[in-house]
Each structure stands twice: as C-alpha cells, then as structure tokens.
C-alpha cells in the first residue's frame, strides 16, 4: 500500500510543520486506495476497460492489472495512451464513442475522469453498451460540493494550470484538462446511470486537506472542516466512489 508519506505531497515543497500534521491526523490514508479497490474486483477471466488510461508514466494513475485479467484495454483522448506499457490494448478515443463491440467487457472503470466528461449521458450510454449484463462500471470522481471543486467550477483552465505549476507537487500542466462537473453528485449519478440500465451504489470518502497546505493555520482549518461538516454531511467529502451494475 502506498501511504501519503510516500506520495508526491511529501516532496521538498511541503513544509515540515504541515508534514507533521498530515502524519498526525492522517496516518492511515493511502493514495492507492481506489487502485486496490479495483484490483480486488478483477478476476483472471475478466475483460477490463479503463477510460482515461493516460500514459502510465509520471503521476498518472497506474493500475497493474495486465497480468491479472484476460484482457486489459485503455482509451484516452491523449495520444500518449498509445505508449502506456500497462495495457494489452490502447486506443485514442472519446468516452462517448468507444471503439468496441457490444457486451465486450466484464468491468469498465475510470479514476478522476467523470468530472471531465462534457456529455456524461453519452459516455454512460457507451459504457453500458460495451458492458456485459451483470458487468460493472466502477469510478472515482470529486464531489461537486467539495470546497476546492466549488472554486474550480468558477475558475478558468488557465488558473488550474497556474496552480498546478506552482503548488501541485509533481503534477505538470500537461496533466490539466477542462472540467465540467456534470456527473459529480449523488442525484445526477443515480438518475443518469438508471436511465441506461446501470444500478449504482454510491459512497463518499474524505481525504486530507491537501489544497490547504499553504500554512499550518489553513491546514488545521481543513482538518476541522473534514472532521465536523464533512462527517455530518457526506456529500461535502472529497471523493465519490461509484459501483454500477448493468442490469439489462
């Protein structure tokens, strides 16, 4: 398991005081929790598709599934996906136009992609089409009500690139893409999934307040927010995990 102590947050840019607080308040948080969740669902005879697979290099997500399933395909709008060494098959493609036949996959998943979908309904229609009956869509995405996302929704992409350039601890400007947040709340997810024959189960997960690591004061305010309002109102938490089974 990859702890936050070994994550990109703990580089030279993180102040020692913030690092101590992070370790004090979040000693058991892991950056690869969703990756481990996906891996636990994969079986040797499965055909698996990752949407937004990326290049598999740098800080882009890596799901080590290649040797653990029958076929592991990935699509992305970024041509660098063609060089992803972790895939059995890669294709440059949009989530709303998947280049696969009907009922081709047992599992479709994506991480931090749903917020970038300009037409989530079209993407879900395509996902349901390529899933076998009984197959699952699994994804992780930010909650639209998490406070950094509220700010992100009203700021332009150039500002996101600026933030990443100076504060994102290892991410590059090439890893910043336009966001829409059109599939990032419980009501919308449930409605759109059910319209295409997917029955969703939704859980909310908190994370350390990494966006507030500018000072001890702001970080502690983030800890207080996470341990008060977020615990009382789950929709305010950072991450949404969705598991949606194809029923028809």
Q: Assign 3-class secondary structure to the chain.
A: CCEHHHCCCCCCCCCHHHHHHHHHHCCCCECCHHHHHHHHHCCCCCEEEEECCCCCCCCCCCCCCCCCCCEEEEEECCHHHHHCCCCCEEEECCCCCCCCCCCCEEEEEEECCHHHCCCHHHHHHHHHHHEEEEEEEEEEEECCCCHHHHHHHCCCHHHHHHHHHHHCCCCCHHHCCCCCCCCCCHHHHHHHHHHCCEEEEEEEECCCCHHHCCCHHHHHHHHHHHHCHHHHCHHHCCEEEEEEEECC
pLDDT, greater one: 60 or 190: 190
Residue 79 contacts residue 55 (beta carbons within 8 Å): no
- As a whole number, mean pLDDT of residues 110-132 equals 97
User: Is 0.95 topped by the overall pTM?
Assistant: no
CA 121 to chain centre: 18
Residue 64 contacts residue 86 (beta carbons within 8 Å): yes
Q: 153-196, pLDDT tens digit by residue?
A: 666 655 555 555 555 544 444 555 688 999 999 999 999 999 99
Pairing between strand 131-142 and 239-246?
antiparallel
- Residue 54 CA to residue 202 CA, distance in Å, equals 25
Predicted pLDDT at 30: 73
Quote the crossing angle between the two packed helices 186-195 and 120-130, to the nearest 10°: 50
Please, what are the domains in the chain? 4-246 (3.40.50.150)
Summary mean pLDDT of the chain: 88
- As a whole number, mean pLDDT of residues 89-99 equals 97
pLDDT interval class at 216 (50, 70, 90): very high
Q: 1-45, pLDDT tens digit by residue?
A: 454 444 444 444 678 899 999 999 998 877 889 999 999 999 999
């Amino acid at each position: 398991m990859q702890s936050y102590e070994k994550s990109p947050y703990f580089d030279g840019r993180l102040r020692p005081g913030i690092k101590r607080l992070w370790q004090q308040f979040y000693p058991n948080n892991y950056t690869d929790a969703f990756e481990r969740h996906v891996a636990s669902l994969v079986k040797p005879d499965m055909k698996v598709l990752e949407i937004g697979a990326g290049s598999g290099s740098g800080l882009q997500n890596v799901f080590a599934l290649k040797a653990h399933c029958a076929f592991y395909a990935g699509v992305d709008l970024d041509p660098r996906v063609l060089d992803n060494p972790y895939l059995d098959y890669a294709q440059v493609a949009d989530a709303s136009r998947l280049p696969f036949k009907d009922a081709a996959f047992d599992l479709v998943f994506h991480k931090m992609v749903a917020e970038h979908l300009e037409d989530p309904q079209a993407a879900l229609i395509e996902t349901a089409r390529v899933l076998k009956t009984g197959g699952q869509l699994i994804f992780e995405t930010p909650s639209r009500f998490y406070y950094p996302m509220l700010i992100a929704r009203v700021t332009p992409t150039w500002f996101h690139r600026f933030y990443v350039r100076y504060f994102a601890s290892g991410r590059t400007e090439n890893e910043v893409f336009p966001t829409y947040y059109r599939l990032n709340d419980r009501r919308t997810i449930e409605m759109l999934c059910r319209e295409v024959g997917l029955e969703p189960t939704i859980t909310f997960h908190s994370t350390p307040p990494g966006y507030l690591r500018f000072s001890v004061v702001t970080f502690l305010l983030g800890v207080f927010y996470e341990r008060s309002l977020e615990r009382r109102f789950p929709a305010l938490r950072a991450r949404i995990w969705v598991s949606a089974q194809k029923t028809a």
